[in-house]
Structure 1
Amino acid sequence: MNLDRRQLLLATGASAALTALPLRAAQASADVRAQALMDAIAEEYLLRSPESATGLGIDTGARAGLKARSSDRSSAGRLHSAAWTKSALDRLRAVDTAALSPGIRTDIEVATTAYATAIDGFAFPYGAVAVGGWRNGPYVVAQNMGAYLDVPKFLDATHKVATKADADAYLSRLAAFADNLDGETERLRDARGRGVIASDVLMDKTLASIKMTREGPAKDWLIVESLARRTKTIPGDWGARAEKIATADVAPALDRQIAELELHRKAANADAGVWKFKDGPDYYAWTLRAATTTRMTPEEVHAMGQEELKSLQGEMDGILKTLGYTNGSVGERMTGLGKDPRFQFAAGDAGRAEIMAMIQATIADVRTRLPRAFGAPVKGIVEVKRIAIAEQEGAPLAYGGAGTIDGSVPGRFWINLKDPALHTKYSLPTLTFHESIPGHVWQGEYAQKLPLLRSLMGFSAMGEGWALYAEQLGNELGVYDDDPVGRLGYLQSIAFRACRLVVDTGLHTKRWTRDYAIDWFARTNGSSVGEVTSEVDRYCAWPGQACGYKIGHSEINRLRTKAQADLGTRYDFKAFNDAVVGGGGVPLTVLAGNIDRWMVTRRG
């Protein structure tokens, strides 16, 4: 029988399709098994970190019991977390990824990378290890982390109180607050025995913050006032019950932790970097890898920061000259710009009100521009809140993130209003894009569309790299077309992250002192001393974390340039942005693979 070419193609195509049916069925079966494993691991994770369920708004139905539970912050809790993480990693590594569809394969790769990184962190017998997260640090308690800060803020801003059951769950978590504190105090005692002690300045800030949490009668504490305020329509004397727990249990636990921290303070010195630890170089290498999801060495990171800074300040130099700022370094001229009364907010509460109003106006404006940058936009539900006074001394200028999956709790843009002089009118729009939309709040809503295990994970390089890219989008969407000073604020913000690469590695590998780091940072970038002081102290408490920002941002731009060159007329700005943010939090190597696959689909 003779077959023409068309018949031959049809016949062979049909034969291939028949052959592919078992393969597709096998892949579907493998996908189902892999997804079931990831779902099981996610549920196990929530049992260990029930606050995550509340944060996502999924502590309902079968998970309702999680609302009354808290994480175990003790040494035993850390050991159990390490053992569970190893078990989860073993199960993930047993999956044959070659048999999976691309999407499920990516999910497994992301989870495996996150859990393997955490296991490496648990090998160090001290500090905080974020399983599938970014909040790693050598100190159990510091000026920017610890139950004394985390629990009151969480109970007030994240734990919903709408029913009697919610209020009862709040009280259960309040009672656990004392156990949280004592668990950390036990670990602080162990860390002191190992010589893992924060610097004298960090200890002073930490003690000042925790004493602020402790001061005054318990009835005035946020953990008591918040429940009393939110249960006015719920029968029961909730405020009195909360006050009783705070007085009988929480206050003594705070006192015990303060006493231990005072011992740390006596043993502390001025050494700021982790180089001072016996295994400091190895520890810093791990934190740098965890933050950047790369194998870059401290020397490479340091050099990258200097190169990026030189390029950015070259552009800033031209703009400054057009504005009449011609004398001195770029940093010196930006310092002068920051002191110009035209760009400063008023002092005190009047300035705080100006800042909040400007943030709201900026968010409203950028909403109108975002359809030009995204083909599949999310809602971008965001609430702007002031960082608590007890936290603001050790906090950064701002931070943000998404709310619950159902939108009942909005995403939050937390702004530090300790002193309005920390902010300038030309820098605030860029900060707003970073923390709210299209930055962290925006990004978080995309991540919540992913499988639960993926929603529970984050990577600094991707998360913060995207937030810097969000700042860039503000510029590309024309926000600064008629505002050269605003564009300087944007460029200074990007340069700020380049400086972080230099300062973080300087502190932890080149033995920079805190004072030198602050002076170099302020002088080089033209940022205020007040702003960079809290920044430098943050790098001391979270080694490596600050390096993820610029490295992630540069990688997103590298991939965009590659896509533009490879796709030519088939490149689409909105589709590229959708592909990057829609992939959720991933290591940078996985991001590159995601974009490579996206380019294949664009070629058709």
Structure 2
Amino acid sequence: MTFLKTHKLTRRQTLAGLGAGVSVLALPGCVRTIANSADASVTGAGGLLDDIAYNLLKLQPEGATSLGVDTGQYGYLRSRLTDTSMAGRRALVSTLQSDLARARNADKTTLDAATRTSFEVVESAYSTALDGLALPYGDVAVGGWRNAPYVVIQNVGAYIDLPRFLSSTHPLRDADDAQAYIARLEAVPEMLAGELERMKSATDMGVVPPDFLLVKAIGQMRSTLQDAMTGGAWVQPLADNAGTLGTDATLQASAREIVTRRIAPALEAQLAELYRQQKSATSQPGMWARPHGDEFYAWALRASTTTRMMPDEVHERGLEELAMLHGRMDPILRQLGYTSGSVGSRMTALGGDPRFKFAEGDAGRAEIMTFIKGRIDWIKAQMPRAFNTLVDPNLEVTRIPLAEEVGAPGAYGGAGSKDGLIPGRMWINLRTTDLHRKYDLADLTYHEAIPGHVWEGEYSNTLPLIRSILKFNAFSEGWALYGEQLADELGAYDDYAVGKLGYLQSLAFRACRMVVDTGLHSKRWGRQQAVDFFVQRNGSKVEEVASEVDRYCSWPGQACGYKVGHSEIVRQRALAQSAMGSAYDFKAFNDAVVLGGNAPLDVLAKNVARYIDTA
């Protein structure tokens, strides 16, 4: 699916700039020696930023493949996987400390605003990650969104990530790619062993996941193990691309032997550790019940929102925003004839209306895919009304893998690689069509695809490489919610009032997340209390929110970033409108935010202030 062919900078031009060692967006005035750099051999702001980027990718080589930059002198990264062991964690800490010092010591007095922003982003991401890595357990993302206290659980771990990565992201275009694939398979047991080392360490500390998460994780791990015993999904990409690769059955046989004789036993060892955890697990869902749990949650909340908001403040703001949004939903519900009961109970009744349900089974799944395509076709045609600078996403809508569906959300999405060979994707959960309604699926599409995650990611792909790597939950999800708002403002629901309810319920759902996440991890809520809050207060579907709540238990704080980020973008827009008066321009503001790139919220505020000053 191709889109508007008016983007200012092609991906090929971007990569050419990266190959030259200079940021493609750096102006001539930015390319100068940084006198205070810790590494005098790296010249220019762009050179230093790219050096920092590749230092990180060397430790996380899957990211280089995802971005399409495992080429040339970095082609060896295509054969490697992340070191997940404690030693790998120590190496990450050392690299972050060294490169944070280099970024801080760089002379920024002569840099343009865009390059200064890139340094601000690095400093924020690296310092936050180092604070997280100082904690005694957990997975810490560097400028990412998936911070988890549990190394392996129902939605965390190589047993989930690698089969999807190898089947959808690792390229298989020629024999070299195939050999790199085999090399990565050979590295999988070590990756699983590294995770196991840290799992055992956490278990010995008393950091054990809730029992209900372990039930899910064990079921999924057993399924993955059963598949690995025959080669299964790990070997299938080689079989699917045999014609293109020009290889014979020998390569597949080699891969199958690696999987069945080495990967399967490593998975079995992780499964045994999950069983060990299960023996001491409780049903307490929150971090407050784990060692150092309050400390971990405070950090995770900071990393997710890129603010210093405390749990009580997040909780109260969530309740306030929920009340405001329900105040907007009430008159629409009344117009539709739903006049009795709370907004939540009326939305529950609306959700049971057969007019808004998709058919069951494969017929309904096909109906959902057709519906999404129609909404993408409509919204992409509206983008010239919302942006001056347009991008051209290569976009696919894909079903979430069957083995992942149980622990996955209703959908997720993101941009493709910098070279455009890996498309942006909206992944849709179709384990049951009852997850979706005709009045809320349009809004979900705008969030995950256009103008949300896929659209925003295309702009990040034109920035210096380090900016394509570093993603911030509050900005990513805040922008995706702002994308929902843009769709509404562009007329998505002008003739479809019930669709407007779906959009407002989506925003209210994110306000509920602020309440529920802090409730679970700070206010000692139980799992059922969290599910009931969504269902009773917002009319959310039980089928949807049960998995949602489980996700908050394994990714503390992450759920709070959505509405915090959206509210901040809206607040910045109001500031710009007030400061600029008649000079304010809707499209120019949107450009200023998205072209500033994915950034912590304090850096976003600086970008908007610069836009106001120079507009």
- TM-score class, shorter-chain normalisation, is over 0.9
Question: Taking every aligned residue pair, what percent have the same amino acid on both sides?
Answer: 54
Q: Which of 362, 366, 369 in structure 2 is aligned with 1:349?
A: 362
CA–CA distance in 1 between the matches of 2:108 and 2:205?
A: 41
CA–CA distance in 1 between the matches of 2:207 and 2:473?
A: 24
CA–CA distance in 2 between the matches of 1:599 and 1:140?
A: 44
- Could you say what secondary structure the match of 2:44 adopts? helix
- Give the TM-score of the pair, scaled to structure 1: 0.94
CA–CA distance in 2 between the matches of 1:74 and 1:146?
A: 13
CA contact 2:129–2:142 (8 Å) conserved in 1: yes
Residue of structure 1 in register with 2:242 after alignment = 231
Note closer, same or farther for the CA distance 1:471–1:247 as it changes in structure 2 (3 Å cut): same
Residue of structure 1 in register with 2:94 after alignment = 83
Cα deviation 1:146-201 (Å, max 9, x = unaligned): 00000000000000101000011011111111111111111111110011111000
CA–CA distance in 1 between the matches of 2:591 and 2:218?
A: 44
Cα deviation 1:391-423 (Å, max 9, x = unaligned): 111111111111111211110111111110010
Q: After TM superposition, give the deviation of residue 103 of structure 1 in Å.
A: 2.0
Q: After TM superposition, give the deviation of residue 287 of structure 1 in Å.
A: 0.5
Note closer, same or farther for the CA distance 1:403–1:381 as it changes in structure 2 (3 Å cut): same
Q: Which of 450, 466, 485 in structure 1 is aligned with 2:498?
A: 485
Q: After TM superposition, give the deviation of residue 34 of structure 1 in Å.
A: 3.1
Moved more, 482-491 or 578-587: 578-587
CA–CA distance in 2 between the matches of 1:331 and 1:231?
A: 53
Counterpart mapping for 1:53-452 below 5 A? 53-216=64-227, 218-219=229-230, 221-233=232-244, 234-237=246-249, 238-452=251-465
CA–CA distance in 2 between the matches of 1:263 and 1:29?
A: 55
- Could you say what secondary structure the match of 1:215 adopts? helix
Q: Which structure 1 residue ranges, 5 or more long, are not aligned? A: 1-23
CA–CA distance in 1 between the matches of 2:276 and 2:29?
A: 63
CA contact 2:397–2:425 (8 Å) conserved in 1: yes
Q: After TM superposition, give the deviation of residue 27 of structure 1 in Å.
A: 8.6
Letter in 2 for 1:236: D
CA–CA distance in 2 between the matches of 1:190 and 1:138?
A: 12
Q: After TM superposition, give the deviation of residue 562 of structure 1 in Å.
A: 1.1
Letter in 1 for 2:534: F
Cα deviation 1:210-246 (Å, max 9, x = unaligned): 1111124644611111221112341232322211111
- Could you say what secondary structure the match of 2:417 adopts? coil
CA contact 2:446–2:484 (8 Å) conserved in 1: yes
Note closer, same or farther for the CA distance 1:502–1:26 as it changes in structure 2 (3 Å cut): closer
- Could you say what secondary structure the match of 2:243 adopts? coil
Q: Which has the higher contact order (CA 8 A, sep 6+)?
A: 2
Q: Tell me, yes or no, if structure 1 residue 454 matches structure 2 residue 489.
A: no
CA–CA distance in 2 between the matches of 1:477 and 1:217?
A: 48
CA contact 1:380–1:437 (8 Å) conserved in 2: no
CA–CA distance in 2 between the matches of 1:228 and 1:403?
A: 24
Note closer, same or farther for the CA distance 1:216–1:159 as it changes in structure 2 (3 Å cut): closer
Cα deviation 1:312-346 (Å, max 9, x = unaligned): 00010000000000011000000000000000011
Q: After TM superposition, give the deviation of residue 135 of structure 1 in Å.
A: 1.3
Note closer, same or farther for the CA distance 1:249–1:217 as it changes in structure 2 (3 Å cut): closer
CA–CA distance in 2 between the matches of 1:474 and 1:67?
A: 38
Residue of structure 2 in register with 1:555 after alignment = 568
CA–CA distance in 2 between the matches of 1:499 and 1:547?
A: 9
Provide the aligned length of Structure 1 versus Structure 2. 579
CA–CA distance in 2 between the matches of 1:584 and 1:106?
A: 9
Q: After TM superposition, give the deviation of residue 36 of structure 1 in Å.
A: 2.2
Residue of structure 2 in register with 1:5 after alignment = none
Moved more, 273-282 or 31-40: 31-40
Q: After TM superposition, give the deviation of residue 131 of structure 1 in Å.
A: 1.3
Moved more, 308-317 or 84-93: 84-93
CA contact 1:219–1:225 (8 Å) conserved in 2: no
CA–CA distance in 1 between the matches of 2:129 and 2:488?
A: 36
CA contact 1:347–1:419 (8 Å) conserved in 2: yes
- Give the TM-score of the pair, scaled to structure 2: 0.92
Letter in 1 for 2:449: S
CA–CA distance in 2 between the matches of 1:214 and 1:385?
A: 24
Letter in 2 for 1:353: A
CA contact 1:30–1:100 (8 Å) conserved in 2: no
Moved more, 208-217 or 461-470: 208-217
Q: Tell me, yes or no, if structure 1 residue 524 matches structure 2 residue 537.
A: yes
Q: Which of 600, 606, 614 in structure 2 is aligned with 1:593?
A: 606
Q: After TM superposition, give the deviation of residue 277 of structure 1 in Å.
A: 2.0
The root-mean-square deviation of aligned C-alpha atoms, in Å, is 1.4
Q: Tell me, yes or no, if structure 1 residue 507 matches structure 2 residue 520.
A: yes
Moved more, 213-222 or 114-123: 213-222
CA–CA distance in 1 between the matches of 2:103 and 2:530?
A: 42
CA–CA distance in 2 between the matches of 1:135 and 1:546?
A: 10
- Could you say what secondary structure the match of 1:379 adopts? coil
CA–CA distance in 1 between the matches of 2:248 and 2:206?
A: 48
